[in-house]
C-alpha cells in the first residue's frame, strides 16, 4: 500500500474519526480538541472550508447523511451530546463558498438525552428517511428520526450493552424477497430496518424495527468475542438473503458473520486472519467485497476467495526500503511502499 | 449473618483463589517432602524431578481440591475472623475492632480457625492424596497392583476414601488439623496485625499502608504461622497419607524419634510469603464504598489524621469518622451540628458554613466561616462545640486555610477586600497578625498557602487578570504576580512541585485549568500547561500519587470527576463516575489513591483510583474507511513526535512490542515523569491505496466504461455482439470468469438461435417435409411443446417411418461433411478438437473445459420426468421467441432440480473454460448470418489465446433431439444473475440483465426476477453515482428508460419531452404493476411512487420552470441554479460534478 494523499488537518489533538461525504467531495474530521473540521478534497487537494466548534468534549465520531437531505453532518462527543450540523444558507440562496471565511455550518438539532459519552453515530439508509442512531457509554442507543418539519422523534433502547455501546452500523435497505415453493422470488413489503451494535459487554447485537409494535427489538446477538467489541460494520449487500457483518474486538479477533436466510437463520462465523494487535476498526468497500481491518501495527485488506475463505490482499509486514511516497511523517514513509501494508509503528 | 460477614466471606474466597494459583507448586513440593523426606534431596531437586516427570501438571497436582480447600477455608476463616473479632471485642469491652491488641487478634484468629478446620480437613485430605499419588503408587506397586494407578481425579479419590474408610474417613486428621489451625491462625493473625502495626507510620491508619506493606505484613503472618505449626502439619500430612493405626500422640512421637520434622520448610515459607501476601492484598481492597448522608452539602473537609470528615453547606453541617476496618472504609456519622444544641448557642448562619478548614496539627480542631457575616469560628471536634468566635472581617469570608506547618496561624480571604493572617496566640478579639490588601482593593476570592514554601500564598482577587503571590513577611505588596490575562476563580499549589500553581478560569468561555511556573524568572508568563476542560471549572485537586494529575469538577450538570494529566490538554486520563447527581465537592485522601466525593443528593462515595474509568479504554485512536475510489482512508496517531521518542528513550520501550494505545495510556503517562511539556497527540489522516493487489474499484470503472449496452434490438446478432465485446473486455481486464459467463450467454441465445436457423435452413434445403414439421411445431407452440413422437403419432406411421429414415440419412451425410470441416478447423486453430458424433446423445449446454455432460436418451427415460421437464421448459423459449403469450403451465415448479442447477451454475461461474463454441464454418453458408459470422469470427478468434489448451466444437445438429427440444436456460440465467448479486458483483448482474433484457419477455422478467431487477438497476446507478461515474450513470438511466423502457420510478411523460431524472439518485422503485402476474403479488406494492424533483438548493420540490444538469441530473429552481453558477463550477447538490464546464462545452 502506498500513501497517495495526506491531509494536514491542523487538529491539536488526536483525530478520532474522518468521514468522506456521499460523493467523496468533503472530508470531515473530528478530534479530541473539541472541533470538527471540514475539508474540500475534490481534485486531490484539500482546502479547509469550515471549523465547527460546538462540542464541549472530545468528538468521537461523525456521519454524513445522504445528499437527498442536504448533506447533514452528525457528530457525537464525550460531552454526551449529538449535534446535527447543516450548511447554512441565507434566504434559500447558495452559500458563497468561494468567498473568504469559508462555508458556514450551524447546529440544527442538539440531542442531549444520554447520560454518558456518546461514542457512535450513524445515519440510516436514506430509504428510511432522515434517521439517525447513536450509542452511548450509558449503554443505550437512541434512534432519532426527523418528522420533516424540523422536529425529531426519539426512540431510545435502554440497556443495549450495559457497560457501553462502542459502535453501530445500519443494514443496507434491501427490499425483502420471499421465495414461494416454486422458487419464484418476489418483493414483499418494505425493507426491514435493522442495525447492528457492538459494546463493552463483548456482544454484538442485531436490532430490528417491528412495525406492529412500533419499536426496536433485539433480533439476535452474537457472542463469539470475549472482550470489548470495538467496531462492527454491516457490509453493503444487494441481496436480501445474504447478510454479512464484520466485527473486531479487543481480544484481537476479527470475525465476519454471514447469514443466508434461505437456508438458516443462524449467523455463521468466519475468522479473518489469526490475531491482530489492538484491532480498532473494520470497514467494507463500497461493493462489499473487500474488508479493511485496522490494527495497531498495520492495516490489511481482505477479500473472500472462491473457496469462501478470506485472503489477505496485503502481504505480511516486512521491513522494506523506503518508497517515494509523499511524506507525512518519517515514521510512515520509512516503511511504506512495497510492503503492502501501512506500517504504523516506527521500527 | 450480616452483610459485613458476606463481604468478608467473598474477600476471603477471592484471596484464597489467588493464593492457590500462586502457591500450589510450592505446596506440592512441600507435601512430597513432608511425606517422603528421604526420597528427595532438597526442595529444588524435588521441584525439578516433579517437573521432569509430570511437567506443570505435576506441580499443579491437586489444584482443584486445593482451590476448594482454600476457598472454603479462607471464606469461612475470614468471615469467622471478623465475627470473632467482634466477639472478642465484646468480651474485652473494646468499643472498636481497631483497638484490639495483638493478643486479642490472636485469640480471634484461633477461634475462627476452629470453624474453618471442619471445612478444610476433607479437602486437604484429598489434596494430599493426589499430590503424593505417584509416590504411593511406586511404593505399593508390588502389592496394590493397578488399584490406584488410574484414579487421579479428585472425585475418584473422594469416592475411594468414602468407600474404603467410610464417611468418617474424610475427617481423618481432623484433630491434627485443629491442632495445626487453631494456634496456627492465632499466630497468623497475630503476626499480621503486629507487623502491620510495626510498618505503619505514626498517625497513619492501618488501612492505608499500601500495597507493598500489606503484602509484607501478610507474608510475615504466613511465616509466623508456618514456623510454629510446621511440625504439626508434617504429622497431619503423614496421617492423612499413610493412614496409621496408632493414635495421634503416639504417631507423633514415632515421627519425632525417626525423622526431622522441618523437612520441606523452605518451600512452605516461600510459598507462604508469596501466597499469603497476595491473600491479604485481595482481602484488603474493595475499591468503592458509598454512603448516604444528608443532602445539601457542598464542602468536604478532612482532618490531618485522615479520620474525621466534615460535610458542610447551606443545609448541611455534619461530622463523620472514617475508619479503615481492615478491608473496607467505614464512614459513620458522629454529629450533626445543625441538629444538636450548641453550647454556647450559635446564630443559625454559623451552622451554614461557607468554608471549613482543619488544623493541620491538632486533629480535632477546625475553623468555619459563615455565609452572611465576616465571623470566624474555631471548633473542637471532641467537644463538638465552638471554642472561639472571631469577628475578623467586615464582609463574608470566602476562604479560610490553616497554615500547613504552624498550627496557630490561619489565613482568611474576605469579600471586604482584605486577606488576613490570624494568629490564635494573640490575645485580642480579632487576633489579626497581618492584613493583606490588593492595590485594586477588590475582594479576595480565594487563597492558597504554598505547602512547600509555607511563607508564601497566592490569592485570587475579584476582577483581576492576575494572581498575586504574597510573602507573609512582606505584607505590603505581593512578591510576585502571575499575569493570567483572564479572570481566575480558583487556585491551587501543586504539592510536589513548589512553584507550580494551577488556576481555574471564571466565566462561561474560560473552561481551562492553567498551570503556571511561579519561579519568577520567566518574563513571558505563558502557562506551563493548559487543560481544556469541558465546562467552567469549580474545583480541582492535585492527585497525591502523581504530580501531573489533577482532578476537576465543572459547574452544572456534571456527575463525573475528571482526572487530567496536565500534559494532555484535551483528554482526561480517567473519570470517576460513581454519582447519580451533580458532584458538589471531592477530595483525595492523603497518602492513598482514594477519593471522597459528595453529590447534591447527599451520596458520599469513597472510591479508589482503580475504580475510575481510564479514558484510554474509551478512546478510539483509529478510524478507517474504504473510499469509493478504492483507497483506504486512515486516521492514526502520529507517533513521530518528541514525546514518543523521549518515551522510548526513557522507558526503553521497544517499538515492536508497543501498541499505540499504550503510548498514550494512563499507565505509561503517569509513570513517565521526565516530560514537563505538553504531550502532542496528533494524528495523521492519510489516504492509502493498494493498486497492485486490489484493483476492484479500478475494474469497476473500467467495466462501467467499456461494457456496452446495445441498442435494445431484439436480434440475437446484437446480443451476440454485446456478449463478444463484453467478454473481450473481461478478458482484457483479467476476469476470465466473467468472460466465460458472457460466452455462455452468447451460446445460450445467439448461437442457439443461429444453429436453430441453420437447422431450419438445412431442413429446408434437404426436405420440404421438415418445413411442414417446423411450422406445425411453431403453430402448436401456443400449447405444450410436444415430444417428437407425439407429433409423429398424428401422422401415418408409414410416412412417419419413411420420414425418420430419410432424416436420419440426411443427417448422417451432413455429419460426415462436418467432420471433415472440423478436422480442417483443428489444423487452423492449433487446438485440440473434439468431435462429438454420437447421434443418440443429448448435449446439455453446460460447456466446460474438460468434460461435457452427456445425457443419453436412456438416462432421460430412466428418470421419466426429466424428459417432461425438458419438454415443459422448451416451450418457454419457443413462445418467447415467437412472441406467443406464455401458456399457463400446470406447474410452476422449477424444472431443473436443485442439484443439477447448482452444479451447472457452479461450473459456469467458477471455472474459466477456454472453450468457445464455434459454428462459423457452417454459418458461412448462410447469407442471413454473413455479417454476424464475420463479426463472430474476429471476436472468437481474438478470444482464443494462442496457447489455449482445449478447444471443443459442439454442434447440436449431430443430436437430432436437441434440434427439436431446446433446453431451458431460464433457470441458468436466473441463477447466474442471483449468483452475481449475492456475491456483490452487482455490475455484472446489471450488465447481463440489460444485455438480455430485449430477449426476455415481460412475463419472463416477472417470473424470473419479480421486480428485483429494478432494484438492482437502481442500486447500480447509485453505485455509479457514488463512484462519480455520472456520465455512465446517465447512460444507464437513459438506456433503461429510452431503449428498454424499464420503468424506473418516474415517468418521463410527466416532464414532457425533457428527460428529467431524480435530483437524488433514484430511490427504491416500487414494483410496477404487471398486467397479468403469474403468481399473485401483494397489491400494495404495485403502486409506483412518483418523487418530486427537489431543488438542490432550497430543498423544496420544484414546480413549473426548473433547470438541471444533463449529466448528474441535479438542479433546481432556475433562479437558484443561475445564482449558484455565477459563483460555482460544481453541482449545487454536492455530487462534485462540474456542471458548468459541461454547460460551457455545450
B588 pairs with which residues across the strands?
B595
CB contact (8 A) between residue A294 and residue B637: no
Q: Mean of the pLDDT values across residues A319-331?
A: 30
Q: Mean of the pLDDT values across residues A125-133?
A: 88
B787 confidence band (pLDDT: 50, 70, 90): very low
B311 pairs with which residues across the strands?
B300, B318
DSSP letter for each residue of B893-918: S-SS-HHHHHHHHHHHHH--------
Alpha helices in B830-951 (DSSP H): 857-862, 864-882, 898-910, 920-923, 930-943
Spatial neighbors of B293 by CB under 8 A, at least 6 apart, are B311, B316, B318, B320, B333, B598, B602, B603, B604
Residue in A1, A236, A277 closest to B688 by CB = A1
Contacts with B, A 240-279, CB within 8 Å = 241-242, 277-278
Q: What is the three-class DSSP state of B128?
A: helix
pLDDT above 90: percentage of residues in chain B: 3
* Distance spanning both ends of chain A, measured CA to CA: 17
pLDDT 10s digits, A237-286: 887 778 899 999 988 899 999 988 777 778 889 888 888 877 888 999 88
Query: A interface mutation test: which of B624, B655, B1067, B1098 has the most A CBs within 10 A?
Result: B624
CA distance B924 to B928: 9
Chain A nearest-CA distance from B614, in A, is 13
- The pLDDT value recorded for residue A76 is 93
CA distance B511 to B531: 8
The arrangement of secondary structure in A160-179+188-318, i.e. its CATH architecture, is 7 Propeller (2.130)
- The pLDDT value recorded for residue B401 is 92
CA distance B615 to B22: 31
Element at B808 (helix H, strand E):
helix B797-829
- The pLDDT value recorded for residue B146 is 44
Q: What is the three-class DSSP state of A84?
A: strand
For residues B849 and B950, the answer to whether their CB atoms sit within 8 Å is yes
Residue in B635, B982, B1135 closest to A23 by CB = B1135
Chain B nearest-CA distance from A239, in A, is 6
Q: Please report where in the chains the cell 493570567 appears, as a residue.
A: B484
- The pLDDT value recorded for residue B945 is 38
Chain B nearest-CA distance from A174, in A, is 8
Q: Mean of the pLDDT values across residues B207-229?
A: 70
Which residue in B287, B277, B381 sits closest to B329, CA to CA? B287
Q: Which residue has the higher pLDDT, A230 or B235?
A: A230
- The pLDDT value recorded for residue B220 is 77
Give the single-character DSSP code of B824: H
Say if A14 is an interface residue toward chain B (CB within 8 Å).
yes
Chain A nearest-CA distance from B632, in A, is 8
Which residue in B826, B1146, B852, B873 sits closest to B1008, CA to CA? B873
Residue in A164, A183, A238 closest to B981 by CB = A238
CA distance B997 to B27: 81
Spatial neighbors of B313 by CB under 8 A, at least 6 apart, are B296, B297, B298, B299, B352, B353, B584
Query: A interface mutation test: which of B686, B977, B979, B1100 has the most A CBs within 10 A?
Result: B686
B1111 confidence band (pLDDT: 50, 70, 90): low
What's the number of CA atoms in the CB half-sphere (13 Å) around residue B154? 19
Q: Mean of the pLDDT values across residues B497-504?
A: 88
Q: Which residues on B lie below 8 Å from A34 (Cβ)?
A: 532, 570
pLDDT 10s digits, B963-1003: 444 456 677 777 788 888 877 788 888 888 888 877 777 77
Residue in B636, B693, B986 closest to A314 by CB = B693
CA distance B814 to B179: 111
Say if A104 is an interface residue toward chain B (CB within 8 Å).
no
CA-based radius of gyration for chain B: 47
CA distance B190 to B221: 7
User: Per-residue b/e over B589-607, b at no fewer than 16 CB within 10 Å?
Assistant: bebbbbbbbbbbebbbbbb
Please tell me whether the interface predicted TM-score (ipTM) of this complex is above 0.90: no
CA distance A289 to A287: 6
Query: B interface mutation test: which of A77, A164, A238 has the most B CBs within 10 A?
Result: A238
Query: A interface mutation test: which of B564, B611, B626, B643 has the most A CBs within 10 A?
Result: B626
Q: What is the three-class DSSP state of B35?
A: helix
B625 pairs with which residues across the strands?
B633
Chain B residue with Cα closest to A25: B1136
Which residue in A125, A112, A120 sits closest to A137, CA to CA? A120
Asked whether residue B508 carries a pLDDT value surpassing 50, the answer given is: yes
B722 confidence band (pLDDT: 50, 70, 90): confident
Residue in A25, A31, A185 closest to B1136 by CB = A25
- The pLDDT value recorded for residue A64 is 92
Q: Mean of the pLDDT values across residues B394-408?
A: 89
B539 confidence band (pLDDT: 50, 70, 90): confident
Residue in A239, A241, A286 closest to B1026 by CB = A286
Give the single-character DSSP code of B702: H
Indicate the angle between helix axes B3-35 and B43-59, nearest 10 degrees.
120
Q: Which residues on A lie below 8 Å from B692 (Cβ)?
A: 340
Q: What is the three-class DSSP state of B599?
A: strand
Q: Mean of the pLDDT values across residues B780-784?
A: 39
Chain B nearest-CA distance from A214, in A, is 20
DSSP letter for each residue of B242-304: H--SS-HHHHHHHHHHHS-TTTTHHHHHHHHHHHHHHHHHHHH---EEEEE--S---EEEE-T
Q: Which residues on B lie below 8 Å from A235 (Cβ)?
A: 984
Chain A nearest-CA distance from B145, in A, is 46
Residues of chain A with CATH 2.130.10.10: 10-123, 160-179+188-318
For residues B686 and B633, the answer to whether their CB atoms sit within 8 Å is yes
CA distance A293 to A271: 12
B817 pairs with which residues across the strands?
none
C-alpha cell at B674: 521526565
B97 confidence band (pLDDT: 50, 70, 90): low
pLDDT 10s digits, A92-119: 444 444 444 457 888 989 998 898 889 9
Residue in B618, B681, B1028 closest to A14 by CB = B681
Largest Cα separation within chain A, whole Å, is 64
Q: Which residues on B lie below 8 Å from A108 (Cβ)?
A: none
Chain A residue with Cα closest to B1020: A238
Judged by average pLDDT, the poorest of A164-173, A239-248, B786-795, B809-818 is: B786-795
Judged by average pLDDT, the poorest of A252-261, B46-55, B106-115 is: B46-55
Chain A residue with Cα closest to B985: A287
CA distance B334 to B315: 17
Alpha helices in B166-264 (DSSP H): 174-199, 211-242, 248-258
Q: Mean of the pLDDT values across residues B534-544?
A: 86
Q: Please report where in the chains the cell 447546529 appears, as a residue.
A: A107
Peptide bond into B817 cis (omega under 30): no
CA distance A45 to B866: 64
pLDDT 10s digits, B227-241: 777 777 777 777 777
CB contact (8 A) between residue B635 and residue A347: no
Spatial neighbors of B622 by CB under 8 A, at least 6 apart, are A280, A281, A294, B634, B635, B636, B660
CA distance B120 to B115: 9
B689 pairs with which residues across the strands?
A2
Phi, psi of B519 (to 5 degrees): -65, -25
Judged by average pLDDT, the poorest of A293-302, B601-610, B964-973, B1033-1042 is: B964-973
CB contact (8 A) between residue A344 and residue B636: yes
Calculate the CA B867 to chain-centre distance: 56
Q: Mean of the pLDDT values across residues A139-152?
A: 87
For chain B, domain boundaries: 3-138+152-284, 289-391, 702-746+968-1044, 1092-1145
Q: Which residue has the higher pLDDT, B565 or B1115?
A: B565
What is the CA angle B595-B601-B607, rounded to 5? 15
Q: What is the three-class DSSP state of A43?
A: helix
CA distance A75 to A17: 10
Tally: H helices and E strands in chain B: 34, 38
Chain B residue with Cα closest to A60: B620
Judged by average pLDDT, the poorest of A56-70, B94-108, B550-564 is: B94-108
CB contact (8 A) between residue B633 and residue A78: no
Q: Which residues on B lie below 8 Å from A277 (Cβ)?
A: 659
Spatial neighbors of B832 by CB under 8 A, at least 6 apart, are B826, B949, B950, B951
B397 pairs with which residues across the strands?
B414
CA distance B963 to B955: 10
pLDDT above 70: percentage of residues in chain B: 64
Q: Which residues on A lie below 8 Å from B534 (Cβ)?
A: 56-57, 78-79
C-alpha cell at B392: 475578623
CA distance B398 to A231: 50
Tally: H helices and E strands in chain A: 1, 27
Phi, psi of B29 (to 5 degrees): -60, -45
Q: Is the dihedral of CA B221, B227, B228, B233 positive or negative?
A: positive
C-alpha cell at A172: 443496507
The arrangement of secondary structure in B3-138+152-284, i.e. its CATH architecture, is Alpha/alpha barrel (1.50)
Query: B interface mutation test: which of A37, A242, A286, A327 has the most B CBs within 10 A?
Result: A286
Distances (CA, A) of B320 to B281, B381, B756: 27, 10, 102
B126 confidence band (pLDDT: 50, 70, 90): confident
Contacts with B, A 195-224, CB within 8 Å = none
Asked whether residue B585 carries a pLDDT value surpassing 80, the answer given is: yes
What pTM value is reported for the model?
0.64
CA distance A265 to A222: 12
For the domain made up of A10-123, the CATH class stated in words is mainly beta
Chain B residue with Cα closest to A236: B984
Peptide bond into B55 cis (omega under 30): no
Say if A13 is an interface residue toward chain B (CB within 8 Å).
yes
Amino acid at each position: 500500500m502506498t500513501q497517495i494523499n495526506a491531509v494536514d488537518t491542523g487538529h491539536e489533538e488526536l483525530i478520532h474519526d474522518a468521514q468522506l461525504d456521499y460523493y467523496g467531495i468533503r472530508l470531515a474530521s473530528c478530534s479530541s480538541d473539541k472541533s470538527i473540521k471540514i475539508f474540500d478534497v475534490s481534485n486531490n487537494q484539500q482546502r479547509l472550508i469550515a471549523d465547527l466548534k460546538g462540542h464541549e468534549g472530545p468528538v468521537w465520531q461523525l456521519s454524513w447523511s445522504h445528499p437527498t437531505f442536504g448533506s447533514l453532518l452528525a457528530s457525537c462527543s464525550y460531552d454526551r451530546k449529538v449535534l446535527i450540523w447543516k450548511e447554512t444558507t441565507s434566504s434559500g440562496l447558495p452559500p458563497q463558498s468561494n468567498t473568504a471565511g469559508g462555508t458556514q455550518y450551524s447546529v440544527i438539532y442538539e440531542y442531549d438525552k444520554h447520560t454518558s459519552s456518546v461514542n457512535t453515530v450513524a445515519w440510516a439508509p436514506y430509504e428510511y428517511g432522515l434517521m439517525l442512531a447513536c450509542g452511548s457509554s450509558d449503554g443505550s442507543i437512541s434512534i432519532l428520526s426527523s418528522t420533516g418539519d424540523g422536529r425529531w422523534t426519539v426512540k431510545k433502547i435502554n440497556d443495549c450493552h450495559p457497560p457501553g455501546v462502542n459502535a453501530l452500523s445500519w443494514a443496507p435497505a434491501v427490499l425483502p424477497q420471499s421465495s414461494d415453493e416454486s422458487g419464484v422470488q418476489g418483493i414483499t413489503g418494505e425493507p426491514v430496518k435493522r442495525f447492528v451494535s457492538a459494546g463493552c459487554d463483548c456482544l454484538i447485537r442485531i436490532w430490528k424495527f417491528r412495525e406492529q409494535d412500533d419499536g426496536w427489538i433485539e433480533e439476535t446477538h452474537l457472542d463469539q468475542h470475549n472482550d470489548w467489541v470495538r467496531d462492527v460494520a454491516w457490509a453493503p449487500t444487494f441481496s436480501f438473503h445474504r447478510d454479512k457483518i464484520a466485527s473486531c474486538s479487543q481480544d484481537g479477533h476479527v470475525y465476519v458473520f454471514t447469514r443466508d436466510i434461505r437456508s438458516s437463520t443462524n449467523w455463521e462465523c468466519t475468522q479473518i486472519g489469526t490475531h491482530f494487535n489492538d484491532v480498532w476498526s473494520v470497514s467494507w468497500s463500497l461493493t462489499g467485497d473487500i474488508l479493511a481491518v485496522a490494527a495497531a501495527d498495520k492495516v490489511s485488506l481482505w477479500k473472500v476467495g472462491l473457496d469462501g475463505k478470506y485472503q489477505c490482499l496485503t502481504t505480511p509486514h516486512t521491513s522494506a526500503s523506503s518508497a517515494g511516497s509523499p511524506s507525512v511523517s518519517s515514521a510512515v514513509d520509512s516503511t511504506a511502499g512495497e510492503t503492502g501494508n501501512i506500517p504504523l509503528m516506527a521500527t | 449473618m450480616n452483610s459485613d460477614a458476606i463481604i468478608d466471606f467473598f474477600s476471603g474466597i477471592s484471596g484464597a483463589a489467588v493464593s492457590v494459583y500462586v502457591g500450589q507448586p510450592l505446596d506440592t513440593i512441600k507435601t512430597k517432602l513432608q511425606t517422603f523426606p528421604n526420597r528427595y534431596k532438597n526442595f529444588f531437586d524435588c521441584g525439578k524431578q516433579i517437573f521432569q516427570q509430570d511437567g506443570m501438571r505435576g506441580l499443579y497436582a491437586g489444584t482443584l481440591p486445593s482451590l476448594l480447600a482454600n476457598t472454603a477455608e479462607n471464606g469461612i476463616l475470614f468471615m469467622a475472623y471478623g465475627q470473632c473479632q467482634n466477639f472478642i471485642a465484646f468480651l474485652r469491652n473494646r468499643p472498636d475492632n481497631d483497638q484490639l491488641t495483638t493478643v486479642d487478634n490472636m485469640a480471634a484468629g484461633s477461634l475462627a480457625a476452629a470453624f474453618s478446620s471442619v471445612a478444610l480437613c476433607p479437602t486437604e485430605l484429598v489434596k494430599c492424596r493426589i499430590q503424593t499419588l505417584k509416590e504411593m503408587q511406586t511404593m505399593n506397586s508390588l502389592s496394590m497392583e493397578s488399584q490406584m494407578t488410574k484414579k487421579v481425579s479428585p472425585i475418584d479419590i473422594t469416592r475411594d476414601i468414602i468407600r474404603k474408610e467410610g464417611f468418617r474417613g474424610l475427617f481423618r486428621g481432623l484433630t491434627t488439623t485443629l491442632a495445626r489451625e487453631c494456634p496456627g491462625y492465632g499466630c497468623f493473625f497475630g503476626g499480621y496485625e503486629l507487623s502491620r502495626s510495626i510498618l505503619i507510620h505514626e498517625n497513619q491508619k492501618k488501612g492505608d499502608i499500601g500495597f507493598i506493606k500489606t503484602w509484607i505484613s501478610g507474608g510475615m503472618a504466613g511465616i509466623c504461622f508456618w514456623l510454629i505449626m510446621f511440625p504439626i502439619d508434617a504429622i497431619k500430612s503423614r496421617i492423612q497419607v499413610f493412614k496409621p493405626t496408632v493414635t495421634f500422640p503416639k504417631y507423633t512421637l514415632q515421627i519425632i524419634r525417626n525423622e526431622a520434622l522441618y523437612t520441606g520448610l523452605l518451600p512452605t515459607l516461600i510459598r507462604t510469603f508469596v501466597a499469603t501476601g497476595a491473600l491479604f492484598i485481595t482481602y484488603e481492597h474493595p475499591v468503592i464504598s458509598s454512603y448516604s448522608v444528608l443532602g445539601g452539602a457542598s464542602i468536604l473537609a478532612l482532618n490531618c489524621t485522615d479520620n474525621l470528615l466534615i460535610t458542610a453547606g447551606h443545609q448541611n453541617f455534619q461530622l463523620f469518622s472514617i475508619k479503615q476496618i481492615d478491608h473496607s472504609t467505614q464512614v459513620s456519622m458522629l454529629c450533626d451540628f445543625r441538629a444538636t444544641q450548641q453550647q454556647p448557642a450559635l446564630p443559625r448562619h454559623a451552622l451554614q458554613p461557607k468554608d471549613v478548614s482543619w488544623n493541620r496539627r491538632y486533629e480535632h480542631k477546625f475553623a468555619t466561616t459563615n455565609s452572611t457575616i465576616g465571623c470566624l469560628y474555631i471548633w473542637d471536634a471532641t467537644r463538638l462545640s465552638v471554642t472561639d468566635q472571631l469577628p475578623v472581617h467586615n464582609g463574608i469570608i470566602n476562604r479560610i486555610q490553616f497554615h500547613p506547618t504552624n498550627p496557630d496561624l490561619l489565613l482568611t480571604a474576605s469579600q471586604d477586600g482584605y486577606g488576613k493572617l490570624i494568629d490564635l496566640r494573640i490575645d485580642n478579639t480579632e487576633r489579626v497578625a497581618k492584613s493583606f490588601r490588593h492595590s485594586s482593593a477588590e475582594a479576595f476570592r480565594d487563597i492558597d498557602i504554598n505547602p512547600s514554601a509555607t511563607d508564601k500564598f497566592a490569592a485570587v482577587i475579584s476582577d483581576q487578570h492576575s494572581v498575586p503571590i504574597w510573602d507573609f513577611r512582606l505584607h505590603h505588596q505581593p512578591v510576585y504576580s502571575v499575569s493570567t490575562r483572564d479572570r481566575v476563580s480558583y487556585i491551587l499549589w501543586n504539592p510536589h512541585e513548589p512553584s507550580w500553581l494551577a488556576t481555574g478560569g471564571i466565566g462561561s468561555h474560560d473552561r481551562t485549568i492553567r498551570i503556571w511556573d511561579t519561579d519568577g524568572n520567566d518574563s513571558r508568563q505563558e502557562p506551563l500547561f493548559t487543560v481544556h476542560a469541558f465546562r467552567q471549572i469549580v474545583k480541582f485537586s492535585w492527585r497525591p500519587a502523581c504530580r501531573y494529575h489533577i482532578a476537576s469538577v465543572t459547574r452544572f450538570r456534571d456527575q463525573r470527576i475528571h482526572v487530567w494529566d496536565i500534559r494532555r490538554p484535551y483528554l482526561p486520563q480517567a473519570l470517576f463516575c460513581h454519582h447519580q447527581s451533580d458532584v458538589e465537592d471531592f477530595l483525595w485522601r492523603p497518602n492513598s489513591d482514594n477519593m471522597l466525593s459528595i453529590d447534591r443528593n447527599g451520596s458520599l462515595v469513597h472510591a479508589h483510583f482503580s475504580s475510575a474509568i481510564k479514558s484510554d479504554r474509551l478512546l478510539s485512536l483509529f478510524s478507517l474507511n474504504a473510499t469509493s475510489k478504492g483507497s483506504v482512508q486512515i486516521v492514526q496517531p502520529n507517533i513521530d513526535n518528541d514525546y514518543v521518542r523521549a518515551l522510548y528513550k526513557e522507558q526503553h520501550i521497544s517499538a515492536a512490542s508497543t501498541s499505540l494505545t499504550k503510548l498514550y495510556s494512563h499507565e505509561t503517562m503517569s509513570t513517565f515523569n521526565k516530560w514537563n511539556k505538553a504531550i502532542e497527540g496528533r494524528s495523521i489522516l492519510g489516504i492509502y491505496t493498494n493498486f497492485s493487489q486490489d484493483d476492484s474499484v479500478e475494474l469497476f470503472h473500467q467495466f462501467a466504461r467499456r461494457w456496452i449496452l446495445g441498442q435494445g434490438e431484439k436480434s440475437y446478432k446484437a446480443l451476440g455482439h454485446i456478449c463478444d465485446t463484453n467478454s473481450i473486455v473481461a478478458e482484457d481486464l483479467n476476469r476470465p470468469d466473467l468472460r466465460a459467463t458472457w460466452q455462455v450467454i452468447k451460446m445460450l441465445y445467439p448461437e442457439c438461435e443461429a444453429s436453430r436457423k441453420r437447422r431450419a435452413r438445412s431442413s429446408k434445403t434437404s426436405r420440404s417435409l421438415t418445413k411442414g414439421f417446423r411450422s406445425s411445431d411453431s403453430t402448436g407452440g401456443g400449447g405444450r411443446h410436444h415430444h417428437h413422437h407425439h407429433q409423429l403419432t398424428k401422422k401415418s406411421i408409414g410416412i412417419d417411418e419413411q420420414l425418420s429414415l430419410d432424416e436420419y440419412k440426411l443427417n448422417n451425410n451432413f455429419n460426415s461433411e462436418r467432420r471433415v470441416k472440423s478436422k480442417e478447423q483443428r489444423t487452423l486453430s492449433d487446438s485440440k478438437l473434439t468431435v462429438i458424433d454420437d447421434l443418440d446423445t443429448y448435449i446439455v449446454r453446460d460447456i466446460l473445459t474438460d468434460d461435457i455432460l452427456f445425457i443419453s436418451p436412456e438416462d432421460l427415460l430412466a428418470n421419466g420426468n426429466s424428459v417432461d421437464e425438458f419438454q415443459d421448459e422448451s416451450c418457454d423459449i419457443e413462445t418467447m421467441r415467437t412472441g406467443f403469450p406464455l401458456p399457463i403451465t400446470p406447474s410452476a415448479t422449477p424444472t431443473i432440480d436443485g442439484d443439477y442447477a447448482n452444479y451447472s451454475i457452479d461450473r459456469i461461474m467458477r471455472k474459466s473454460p477456454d472453450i468457445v463454441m464455434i459454428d462459423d464454418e457452417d454459418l458461412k453458408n448462410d447469407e442471413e448470418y454473413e455479417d454476424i459470422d464475420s463479426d463472430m469470427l474476429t471476436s472468437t478468434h481474438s478470444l482464443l489465446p494462442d496457447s489455449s489448451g482445449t478447444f471443443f466444437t459442439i454442434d447440436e445438429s449431430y443430436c437430432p433431439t436437441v434440434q427439436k427440444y431446446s433446453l431451458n436456460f431460464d433457470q441458468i440465467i436466473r441463477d447466474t444473475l442471483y449468483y452475481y448479486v449475492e456475491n456483490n458483483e452487482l455490475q455484472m448482474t446489471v450488465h447481463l440483465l440489460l444485455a438480455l433484457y430485449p430477449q426476455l419477455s415481460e412475463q419472463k422478467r416477472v417470473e424470473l426476477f419479480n421486480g428485483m431487477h429494478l432494484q438492482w438497476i437502481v442500486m447500480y446507478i447509485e453505485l455509479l453515482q457514488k463512484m462519480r461515474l455520472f456520465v455512465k450513470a446517465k447512460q444507464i438511466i437513459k438506456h433503461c428508460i429510452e431503449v428498454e423502457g424499464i420503468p424506473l420510478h418516474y415517468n418521463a411523460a410527466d416532464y414532457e419531452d425533457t428527460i428529467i431524472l431524480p435530483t437524488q439518485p433514484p430511490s427504491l422503485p416500487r414494483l410496477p404493476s404487471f398486467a397479468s402476474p403469474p403468481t399473485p403479488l401483494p397489491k400494495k406494492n404495485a403502486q409506483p411512487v412518483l418523487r418530486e424533483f427537489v431543488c438542490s438548493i432550497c430543498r423544496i420540490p420544484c414546480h413549473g420552470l426548473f433547470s438541471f444538469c444533463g449529466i448528474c441530473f441535479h438542479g433546481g429552481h432556475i433562479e437558484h441554479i443561475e445564482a449558484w453558477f455565477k459563483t460555482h463550477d460544481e453541482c449545487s447538490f454536492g455530487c462534485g460534478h462540474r456542471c458548468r464546464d459541461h454547460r460551457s462545452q455545450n
